[in-house]
Each structure stands twice: as structure tokens, then as C-alpha cells.
Amino acid sequence: MTLAQRINRAQRVLPAWPIYLIGFGWMGWLFWLGLNGDLGPEPINALERRYGLLALQLLVATLVVTPLRTWTNISLLKYRRALGLMAFGFLMAHFLVWALLDLQSLSRISVEIVRRPYITIGFAAFVLLIPLAVTSNNASIRRLGALGWRKLHKLTYPAILLGAVHFVWLVKGYPLEPFLYLGAVIALLAIRLVPKRRPAARAPAGAVTR
Amino acid sequence: MARRWTNDLTHDDVTPRPLWLNRRQIMAGMGGAAALAATGAPAMAQGLEPNTLEQISTYNNYYEFGVGKEDPAAYASALDIDPWTIRVDGMVDRPGEYALADLLSGLQSEERIYRFRCVEAWSMVVPWNGVELADVLDKIGVQSGARYVAFETVVQPENMPGVRSRVIPFPYVEGLRLDEARHPLTLLATGIYGQPMPKQNGAPIRLVVPWKYGFKSIKSIVRITLTDQQPPTTWNRLNSREYGFYSNVNPEVDHPRWSQASERRIGGGLFSRRQDTLMFNGYGDEVASLYAGMDLRENY
């Protein structure tokens, strides 16, 4: 049995729900640490960064699923919804910490969103992901139809790209980390443009081969 | 210019040592109210309370040790500060390589509780120990044509992980106009709370210019140069649109990427309130005259 087969067999028995449990548990734990002064002397900024980074990491993970299946036949599709929804959860937490704990006023929030381009694009990414989070359920797939749903969910691509640029844009100087994320996102988007490798045996009879 | 003023009280006189070491521990206990009542009266009148040594020494920007706020506290122990020599050159009467103790010997030691405002819109209150830069300048003898003072931070690649990853160009350099450097508020600090300067805060000697954003207050100084040209400064060189040579604290002139109108004092926890940033970080009475006639929006 190949590694891919072994992984695909394991994912049949491993459910996706623990992702929510671990995700929300981790989110709450970080907040608890901040509350108790265990995130350093400036917990608001620490929490903002931790939540934002986790959101970006989970979004990158959702981007890995499709190329992984295309190029290695490993299918983790079953977990993608949980990863995506958890990413949105952390993004929401990131936004709320920024709005409620950091800026603390509606006027400051609106001024910052309008006047600071890196915040504008971060906020845009958040807004783009709202309809996707709302439609990440089977009922919505049925209502929208598989094709319509997939079309809508292509919004993840610009959203994740905006998120990675937001990270690069907000740091001072040229630290490596945000550029690595941006590079990973660009690579994961670019790999989707590479023509898919289809084993000849599985090509439908009569298909035109290019 | 302000008159010479010296302190005879130290922090040990007004606050017992265990309290300032980590105030968080005692705030929860019964001693909290009594301890607050005992801190310096002028500071209390402004609602100011110095940050604890723990806060001051665990939330730092010192990119030579990494970009994270916790990196300096984690890695700065490797900094080699003994012996420490400072190269004094340029338009001075007595240039040379000065041992730290020689440069400071005979100078009046000061304890100054200053507001500290970072360009990232957070702030602290820090009780510094040190000498006035003006006294050091007198000691080395500034020549008449000199108009600026340039400073340089040590570079020890083997001890500084941030230098190896080259996140900004090193050595870090900063500078002041000579009248700013001579201002009595401007310190060369060698300690905090009467203790030797923690390495992550710029041991063994650093600049403190309380009316400017924190990045002007260059750490771990190894070179002081008097010059007639405005010296290059690291952040200005990296991004001149965001960081000017003056970088005076100014709530009316925003950093392009964030507002400078308000700030958050470190130490207030998860629900700490923002407060309005003061012009010249609250030192306007002392320093505004240095910039009379200058457009501060232009000269940010």
C-alpha cells in the first residue's frame, strides 16, 4: 500500500470535528493567557498577532488540499471545511481584538480602515470571507448548486492573497516570516495554473489528448 | 533652556525594591494601595506610575536580537559588554577610544523618570539613571563648527541573531541636532531603577531623548561623532516617508501606517484604555522652543 493510500484510508476513520474542538480551545486558551498576563506586558497586541497569524496559517492549509490531491492523490478534502471555518473563526477573533480591545472606538475603526491601506486590504479579506463562511455547509451547496458554490468559493484566492500582503505590509523593516507566507500563498495559487497530471489510463474513452 | 536640576531621591527611597521589581505581584495583595500612596508625589499628580522592571525589560525593540518584542529579553544575554569602549571622533577637541568608565568619570549622575513613547503607539514610564549628554559633550570638547551628533550601536554578529538575518541594515545609527543633544532632558542612560542597564534595554550605555519616538534613543552606543552634516539615521534611510530625522512625538502628524493621536500604556492588561498622546510626549514646555519657526508637519 502506498503512503497516499494509507493516508486516504486513515482519513476515512478520522473525523473532522476535533479541528473545531482544538481550534476554539486554542483560541480560548490564548485569551486566558492574555487575561492572566502570560502573553507578555502587552497582551492586546500579542493576541491580535497570534489570532491573525493562526488565521493565515489555516487559510494556507486550505489552499494545500487541492494541489495535494492533484499531485499526490492524497485526499484531505474532508477536513477543508473545518480548516476554512476555523480560519474564519480566528480571523473574526483577530478583527474583534483589534476593534474592541485595541482601537476601542467606532470612529477610530472607520478612520483606520479607510486611511491605512494595509488595514483596508486586511478588512477586505475579512469581508470577502464572510459569504464563504456563511455558505460552508451542505445545505448551501445544494441551494447554490455545486458549480455555483465552487465559483463563489474561488473568492478564497483573492482573500488569502490580500491577507498575506496585509502581513507583509504591517511589519517594520524586512523580516523573513511574512515574505515566506506570501511566497507560499503565491506558489499555492500558481500551482493551480499548472495543467493537471492525469494518468492516461483514467482519461475517459475518446478524450482528446493535448 | 531649562536650568540644571538634580535629584537627591532615588527609587529606593520612595518605593521598596520588591514593589518595583514586579508590581503585578503586589497589586493583587493587600499592600497595593499603600504602595501606590508611597510612590513619588509629582508623578502621581500626573497619574503616572513607572512601569515595573519586568515590563521594561521584557517588551523591547532591539532588532539586533530579532524583531519580536520578546526576542531581546530572550537573546540579549549573549551581548558582550565588558570591556566597553566608545570611539569619539569628528569635530571634537579630545577624540579617541574611551573606556566607558573614563567617559563617565566625574560626571553628575541623574535619576530621571521619563515618559517613553514608541513610534508603534505604545508607551511606558521609565526611571532612568545616567548622565546628561551635554556633560559628555563638554568633556570631549565640541568644536565650533559642529552642528550634529551621530551615534552608532555595537555590532556583534556572533552574539546577535537579528544581525545575522539582516532584517534592517546594521550598524544601527542615529543622530541629533547639537542643540537637541545639549538639551538637559537628553540623557546617556546607564541604568534603570538604580540597577545596571539590562542588556535588552541597551546596556551598557544608551541615549534617551524623551520627547522623540523611541527609535531615536539608540542603544549600546560604541561611537559618538560630531559633525557639521546631518547624519544618516537607520529608519529614515530605510523608509524616509515614514521616519523623519526629527521624529518628535506629535499626535497631529500620523505615521503613514498608523495613527499617532493616541497610545496605549504598557501594563494595563487586556482591557487597558487608550490615552491621548501629548505633543512632544508632554515635554513641550521644555523643548518646543528648539523648533520655533519650523513646520513640524514638514520636518517630521
Q: Tell me: pLDDT of A201 over 60.
A: no
Which residues partner with B192 through β-bridges?
A: B128, B195
Q: Is the peptide bond before A117 cis (omega within 30 degrees of 0)?
A: no
**Chain A residues in contact with B257 (beta carbon < 8 A):** 116, 118, 169-170
Give the closest residue to B114 by CA, choosing from B17, B26, B46, B25: B46
pLDDT of res. B10: 66
Per-residue pLDDT of A38-81, as tens digits, reads: 999 999 999 999 999 999 999 999 999 999 999 999 999 999 99
The answer as to whether A149 is a domain residue is yes
Q: Considering chain A, what is the average pLDDT of its residues?
A: 92
pLDDT score of B38: 42
State whether residue A56 sits within 8 Å of chain B by CB.
no
CATH of B11-291, one of 3.20.20.70, 3.90.420.10, 3.20.20.140, 1.10.3720.10: 3.90.420.10
Instruction: Report, as an integer, the average pLDDT of A183-201.
Output: 82
Amino acid at the residue B144: S
Separation between Cα atoms, residue B141 and residue B25, nearest integer Å:
47
Q: Taking the domains of chain B in order of start, what are their residue ranges?
A: 11-291
Q: Per-residue pLDDT for A210 more than 50?
A: no
Q: How far is B295 from chain A (nearest CA, A)?
A: 23
What whole-number distance in Å separates Cα of residue A166 and Cα of residue A126? 11
Picking from B194, B294, B193, the residue whose alpha carbon sits closest to that of residue B246 is B294
- Residue B15's φ and ψ, nearest 5 degrees, are -135, 120
Q: What is the pLDDT of residue B167?
A: 84
Q: How, if at all, do strands B173-177 and B221-227 pair?
A: unpaired
pLDDT at A175 over 50: yes
For residue A186, the enclosing domain spans 3-193
Provide the 3-class DSSP secondary structure of residue B32. helix
Interface of A with B in 177-196 (CB under 8 A): none
Residue A201 lies in a domain: no
Which residues on A lie below 8 Å from B264 (Cβ)? 42, 44, 102
Q: Is there a domain that residue A121 lies in?
A: yes
Give tens-digit pLDDT for B47-69.
688 999 999 999 999 999 999 99
Written as nine digits, the cell of B38 is 508611597
| AA letter at B209 | V
Strand B110-117 to strand B122-132: parallel, antiparallel, or no bridges (unpaired)? antiparallel
- Interface check for A120 against chain B (CB to CB < 8 A): the answer is no
User: Residue B48: its pLDDT value, please?
Assistant: 80
**Which residue has 556633560 as its cell numbers?**
B135
The residue of A31, A104, A172, A180 whose CB has the most chain B CBs within 10 angstroms, and thus the best one to mutate to test that interface, is A172
Yes or no, beta carbons of B67 and A111 under 8 Å apart: no
Query: How far apart are the C-alpha atoms of A206 and A77, rounded to whole Å?
Result: 29
**A198 found inside a domain:** no
Handedness of CA B235, B237, B238, B243 (dihedral sign): positive
Number of residues that make up chain A: 210
* Chain A residues touching residue B274 (CB < 8 angstroms): 103-104
Residue B44 has pLDDT above 80, yes or no: no
How many domains does the structure of chain A reveal? 1
In a domain, A56, yes or no: yes
Nearest to A27 by CA among A106, A85, A79: A85
Complex ipTM, two decimals? 0.82
| Cα of B27 to nearest chain A Cα, Å | 13
Question: Do B134 and B38 contact (CB within 8 A), yes or no?
Answer: no
Backbone angles phi, psi at A42, to 5 degrees: -125, 75
**Domain assignment of residue A209, yes or no:** no
Contact A44, A97 (CB under 8 A): yes
pLDDT over 90 percentage in chain A: 85
Q: Tell whether the model's pLDDT for residue B166 goes beyond 90.
A: no
Give pLDDT, residue A203.
47
Cis peptide before B204 (omega within 30 of 0): yes
Angle of helix A17-35 versus helix A77-96 axis, rounded to 10: 20
Geometric angle at alpha carbon B214, from B212 and B215, rounded to 5°: 105
Q: Read off the DSSP letter of residue B177.
A: E
Chain B: residue whose CA lies nearest to A46: B69
Residue type, B20: W
Res. A161: pLDDT tops 70: yes
Domain-located, residue A210: no
Q: Could you give the CA distance from residue B117 to residue B210 in angstroms, rounded to a whole number?
A: 8
> Quick one: average pLDDT of B162-190?
95
> What's the angle, vertex CA B47, arms to CA B43 and CA B49, rounded to 5?
60
Q: What is the pLDDT of residues B202-257, one digit of tens each?
A: 999 999 999 999 999 999 999 999 999 999 999 999 999 999 999 999 999 998 88
**Residue B275 at interface with chain A, using a CB cutoff of 8 Å:** no
Q: Which three cell numbers stand for residue A17?
A: 470535528
Residue B25 and residue B20: Cα distance in Å, rounded?
10
pLDDT digits (tens, 9 = 90+) for A22-47: 999 999 999 999 999 999 999 999 99
Q: Over 50: is that where the pLDDT of B159 sits?
A: yes
Strand bridging mode B110-117 / B96-99: unpaired
Instruction: Taking residues B64-84, report their average pLDDT.
Output: 96
Within 8 A of B236 by CB-CB distance, chain A residues are none
Q: Provide, as residue numbers in chain A, all residues whose Cβ is less than 8 Å from the Cβ of B270.
A: 31, 34-35, 43-44, 47, 101
